[in-house]
Amino acid sequence: MTSLEFTDQVQKISYSLKPVAMNLTRDADDAKDLVQETLLKALLNKDKFKAGTNLKAWLYTIMRNTFINNYNKITKRNSNIDSTEYFQYFNTDENYITHNGATSDFVVTDINEAIANLSADYRTPFMMYYIGYKYLEIAEKLQIPIGTVKNRIHIARKELKQALTVYAPGV
């Protein structure tokens, strides 16, 4: 089928697409847009149409898929997540609220002291991980197995958590 024959057949069938588009969109302007988009996609992808198959069904399939894709885009864009329930618990614990700079300084001092009290075997991988190194990078730099790195970071976290229980929420 030549391009001219294809275009001619698509043009003849295009008149039957409008009622289906109207049924899908339930709006005259949206139906016109859907038909135009369908015809544009059909003409751009004419090489994908197999001669001898049902052109009308092919166009209806393009239209239906276009409508579904557009609908999904609109619903994703307009969906609002109700986060009020989440935000009512956000930072309500008094332990997270600093009333002046001195309180914050005490916390930072306590954290730094707890880190300094860690064994060097645990402190080094922990601080490297904290800075942003990946487990594999830490293992290569320290020339130890990756499992050992993960274990040392885990133990360091556990020891810090134990040393800083004063700041644990709800305790």
Q: Examine residue 43 and state whether it is found in any structural domain, yes or no.
A: yes
State the average pLDDT over residues 112-122. Answer: 91
CATH number where 47 lies: 1.10.1740.10
Name the pTM for this structure.
0.46
pLDDT of amino acid 76: 75
- Give per-residue pLDDT as tens, 43-90: 999 999 988 899 999 999 999 999 999 888 887 766 555 555 555 555
- Residue 88 included in any domain: no
pLDDT tens digit string along 79-88? 555 555 555 5
Indicate if 11 and 71 belong to the same structural domain.
yes
DSSP string computed for 79-146: -----HHHHTTTT-SGGG--SSHHHHHHHHHHHHHHHHTS-HHHHHHHHHHHHT--HHHHHHHHTS-H
My answer on whether 113 and 69 are in the same domain is: no
Here the tokens at position 133 are 């190194």
The pLDDT confidence band at residue 140, using thresholds 50, 70 and 90, is very high
| pLDDT for 85 | 53
- What CATH number should be reported for the domain holding residue 150? 1.10.10.10
3-state SS assignment for residue 54:
coil
b/e for 15-50, b at 16 or more Cβ within 10 A?
A: eebeebbbebbeeeeebeebbebbbebbeeeeeebe
Distance of alpha carbon 93 from alpha carbon 39, whole angstroms? 59
Residue 26 lies in a domain: yes
Which residues span the domain enclosing 156? 94-170
Instruction: Please state, in angstroms and rounded to a whole number, the distance separating the CA atoms of residues 129 and 138.
Output: 7
More confident residue, 103 or 94: 103
Let me know whether 58 and 114 are in one domain.
Answer: no
Residues 57 and 100 in one domain: no
Same domain as 125, residue 73? no
Does 146 fall in a domain?
Answer: yes
Total domains in the fold of the chain: 2
Work out the angle at residue 148's Cα, subtended by the Cα atoms of residues 142 and 152, and round it to the nearest 5 degrees: 90
- Tens digit of pLDDT for each residue in 2-18? 888 888 999 999 999 99
